[in-house]
Chain A
Amino acid sequence: MQQPLRNFFQHIETFFDGPFDGALNPMRQLGSLAFFLYWIVAGSGIYIYIFFDTSVSGAYESVEWMTNQWYLAGIMRSLHRYASDAMVVVAMVHLLREFSYGRYVGARWFAWFTGVPIIWFLFFSGVSGYWLVWDMLAQYVAIGSMEWLDWLGIFGKQVANNFLSPITITDRFFTLLVFIHIFVPLFLLFIMWFHVMRLKSPRINPPKMLMISVSLALVVLSLVYPATSHDKADLSTVAINLDFDWFYLIAYPLFDAIGPGPMWAVGIGVTILVSLVPLLTRTKREPAAFVSLEKCNGCSRCASDCPYDAIEMKPRTDGLKFDIEAVVDANACVACGICVGACPVSTPFRHDEQLVTGIDLPDPSLKSLRDSVVDTMNKTRAKAGQQNAIMVFGCANGINLEKLSAEAKANNIHMGILQVPCSGMLPPSFIDFAISRGSMDGVVVMGCSENGCYHRFGQFWTEDRINQLRDPNLRTRVPRERLATIWADPTNLAKALNQVSDFNKKLSSLPAKQPSTTSGGDK
């Protein structure tokens, strides 16, 4: 189920990359979009609360007044509803997408697990909002909600009794409903904060242009199709037909059909099932990164680049002259290797037999990476003969390198492939090594689709290092025309092959590569 879903998302994302130019692709901004929609809901909610009458008798009229002021309060009311609905859609798609990409494995279980109560609070926030309009839909939703809660038997008296007849509902109880609608969304925000707190620099704001376009779209919808109410609630009548908000109220018809007890069983069952996804689909957890203090000078690059905040700089413990040292939190580490790529000691030019770096992965270690690179380059060079030999470094979540290599071979392109957990693990010096020392004609660095890095920042840091915006830099001496970056998901094999083919043609048009000027390694 996961793979077809992942393929589906990757096709959609590729399709969206065209008009949204990658950087604005909403499918890769779902989490931050949910945050943004929350702020729209909160802002419009504060505005309409100013005009909202919190009494039973006045609530409906005040909402009607707002609806009739179509040019301002009406827009705000519609925005409040449609942004809430959009938030449900975005949050659910976000959940499905993260599931399809397996982004709940290892240390990522925390974000997944804390995402589950968000769904409950999101629905509770929306449902409590429907109570306040105090129309026939509100009456139906309020009574249904209370009957559902009453089944628990935790209230001395049935709460649904407040809605028996027009004389049983009081302003005081109605004020309580207003309070619920204010405090539940605040709790929701608190849990949303909890949801991202283990991530480094969580993306909680989408790009400005996306914010503008989403806001504009919701305003257009609010103007074209303003939110309206049903008739005023009347507890001496029962609503027979209701215009339903299926985003928030989808559980109510099921509740009517199966009753409160089974409905609790369904709700709790689904919650437990979704919460336990990281356990049910348990995959082998890769061993965490480790620090070799004799090679760590406390430069902080690894801590700065780690997307999971799994590295902390702490006071030195080994008596060396440096102030601080890197300490890995093994529970938060997902073994992406980005820290290895960030460490300035991670260079293949060094002569050390063991090639110990400041921070390394047990598997693949930097030494095994260098050995594999040397081996792959030698084989590729030998096979290529006088033709171009290209070294391809690819990430574990992008294009299938074996397939790409086979396709390339069929097109007479000679590629040596090496897979790393994330493109960000590749120290830039390896590119230099492959071109200047390894007699490769060109190097390709491949990774997940643009802005869709499985490990969040690997792609960004790789580009920044190549463009000398982030240490460790790719040295100036490396001819950039012999280097290509390809960001594509596994469904884009043909596109990637085209890019490799173009790169191969470009390499052929370049003057012959100068022999390496580096006679020794960087000590």
Chain B
Amino acid sequence: MEMAGINIFYIVPIMVFGPVVFFVLFKAIGIQTLFTLNDEQKELQRKSRALESALNIETAKSARYKKAKLTPAKIAAQAMLYAPFLLFIGYFSSYPSYQYAPENSAQIKLSFTLLGERKIPCTVRDAGEQSDLKPNMRTAKNCSRERNPVRVVFSLDGKEVFNHSADPAGLRDDGPSSFYQTFIVPAGNHELAVSIFNNDETIPLESFARTITLSSGQAIALTHDTTEGIVIH
């Protein structure tokens, strides 16, 4: 059921839990004390106000609220002082220009999120082993959660420019290994080669080589897809 394009069921938890959270914050944690006074504080406040009013405090005339005596000359002088300030703000809000990369260059980004191989290879459970498990846990394979680090080597025009090993993410080392690096290169033809290794093995799991032509200002990204392998965007 939608109302103004919003599924109203999404609002239900807020309506139910919102007041509860508010109540907890207000009462249990004590935020109310920021907004409300107890009887003792109210009485003190009343007495304090009565005393203050008896203290002959004329705030409007106080030196604290003294008004400036401005003359046309002073206003003109103020304008003269505002001018350099505005010039300063206006200029440095856009200038001087910043050159991020040399003229006639392009950018190559490597971005890989790769699952390493399992530290202990999966074993097949026989029927007896499966029957020892609870029904919902009866899977055919017994696999460890931990995964190996992954190493990525990137060569540009035959020269190795990136060689990095990344540990798997997660407290149990069961997540993917992530790689991210950018390279500024001159525009023109470039030979790209990427190799992905399991842990410190020497034979790559995957390899990729391509010659590309980059125009000035062009940005490409090399990513990994489980079905297509390494792809260029």
Chain A residues near B (Cβ < 8 Å): 16, 18-24, 81-82, 85-86, 89, 140, 147, 150, 153, 156-158, 160-161, 164-165, 167-168, 207, 209, 213, 217-218, 220-221, 224-225, 227, 235-247, 249, 252-253, 256, 299-301, 303-304, 313-315, 323-324, 457, 459-460, 462-464, 467-471, 473
Contacts and interface: CB of A to CB of B under 8 A. Distances in A.
Given A165-B233, A244-B98, A464-B63, A85 B82 contact: no
> 9 smallest A-B Cβ distances: which pairs?
A19-B77, A463-B63, A165-B233, A21-B68, A238-B107, A460-B64, A164-B221, A23-B68, A244-B98
18 contacts: A20-B68, A23-B68, A85-B89, A157-B113, A158-B180, A225-B90, A227-B93, A238-B184, A238-B219, A241-B97, A242-B97, A244-B96, A245-B94, A304-B52, A313-B44, A464-B63, A469-B57, A470-B62
Contacts of B233: 164-165, 167-168, 236
B92 interface: yes
A140 B100 contact: yes
A243 to B, nearest CB: 4
Nearest to A216: B82
Q: Which residue of B44, B69, B100, B223 has the most chain A CB atoms within 10 A of its CB atom?
A: B100
B62 A464 contact: yes
Contacts of B169: 153, 156
B78 A213 contact: yes
Contact of A313 (B48, B58, B61): B48
A158 B85 CA distance: 41
B207 interface: no
Contacts of A156: 169-170, 175-176
B111 A161 contact: yes
A215 B82 CA distance: 11
A18 B220 CA distance: 59
A126 B79 CA distance: 27
Contacts of B67: 23
Interface of B: 40, 44, 47-48, 51-52, 55-58, 61-64, 66-70, 74-75, 77-78, 80-82, 85-86, 88-90, 92-103, 105-107, 109, 111, 113, 169-170, 175-176, 178, 180, 182, 184, 216-221, 223, 233
Given A140-B100, A238-B101, A469-B61, A150 B180 contact: yes
A311 B173 CA distance: 56
Contacts of A21: 68-70, 74
A459 B63 contact: yes
Nearest to A250: B92
A289 B125 CA distance: 79
Nearest to B178: A158
Nearest to A243: B94
Contacts of A252: 98
B107 A221 contact: no
Given A164-B109, A164-B111, A213 B92 contact: no
Count chain A CB atoms within 10 A of each CB in B47, B96, B180, B182 and give the residue with the most: B180
Contact of A237 (B47, B75, B219): B219
Contacts of B69: 21
Nearest to B107: A238
Contacts of B78: 19-20, 213
A459 B67 CA distance: 15
Contact of A217 (B47, B82, B184): B82
A470 B55 contact: yes
Nearest to B58: A469
A300 B48 contact: yes
A256 B100 contact: yes
Contacts of A18: 74, 77
Contacts of B92: 85, 245-247
A150 B182 CA distance: 13
Nearest to B233: A165
A459 B74 CA distance: 24
B63 A243 contact: no
A349 to B, nearest CB: 21
A157 B94 contact: no
Contacts of A459: 63
Contacts of B218: 236-238
Nearest to B92: A246
Nearest to B56: A471
B90 to A, nearest CB: 5
A425 B113 CA distance: 67
B180 A147 contact: yes
A457 B170 CA distance: 56
Nearest to B101: A240
A156 B101 CA distance: 29
A161 to B, nearest CB: 5
A239 B74 contact: no
A18 B223 CA distance: 64
A299 B180 contact: no
A82 B93 contact: yes
B85 A469 contact: no
A229 B109 CA distance: 25
B63 to A, nearest CB: 4
A22 B68 CA distance: 7
A506 B182 CA distance: 77
Contact of A301 (B55, B102, B182): B55
Given A235-B219, A245-B92, 18 more contacts: A19-B77, A19-B78, A20-B78, A21-B74, A23-B68, A224-B90, A236-B219, A238-B105, A238-B219, A243-B95, A245-B93, A300-B51, A303-B48, A313-B44, A313-B48, A315-B44, A467-B63, A469-B58
